[in-house]
Amino acid sequence: AQSVTQPDIHITVSEGASLELRCNYSYGATPYLFWYVQSPGQGLQLLLKYFSGDTLVQGIKGFEAEFKRSQSSFNLRKPSVHWSDAAEYFCAVAALGTSYGKLTFGQGTILTVHP
């Protein structure tokens, strides 16, 4: 079965600083990877997704992520963080086979942005 690990529970950055959120996955075949963002009490908004092709994926709100098969990672980056980026971020993986249609989430990383 697939799994996702987000090693950082909580990250604090200053506004304007760069950001990297880590995500490691475990899956036997080619994974389908996603990053979602969730503001308090809200649903999840898709930031970006990777299925195949170019390993550097561009998303909305200035985010990007890089798929590294050798490291089983799909880290999310942003060059300059805005105060409105404060939220919880979830990495997720979808898989085929018996889990067809199942999206598995990591535990999430809460981002705090200092002015």
Partner 1 sequence: DTEVTQTPKHLVMGMTNKKSLKCEQHMGHRAMYWYKQKAKKPPELMFVYSYEKLSINESVPSRFSPECPNSSLLNLHLHALQPEDSALYLCASSQDSGGLGGYTFGSGTRLTVV
DSSP state at residue 2: -
Question: Residue 115 has which token pair?
Answer: 């002015």
Min dist. Cβ of residue 16 to partner 1 (A): 28
Count of residues interacting with partner 1 (CB under 8 A): 22
Assess 103 for contact with partner 1 (CB under 8 A): yes
Binding mask 61-80 for partner 1 (x = CB under 8 A): --------------------
Does 87 bind partner 1 (CB under 8 A)? Our answer is no
53 binds partner 1 (CB under 8 A): no
Residue 46 in the binding site for partner 1 (CB under 8 A) = yes
Residue 19, CA distances (Å) to 2, 28, 89, 113 in order: 26, 29, 12, 10
Backbone angles phi, psi at 94, to 5 degrees: -115, 150
The two beta strands, 109-114 and 10-14, are parallel
Q: 2, 21, 25, 34: which one contacts partner 1 (CB under 8 A)?
A: 34
Task: Give the one residue of 13, 19, 44, 86 binding partner 1; rule: CB under 8 A.
Answer: 44
Closest CA to 73 of 47, 93, 88, 45: 93
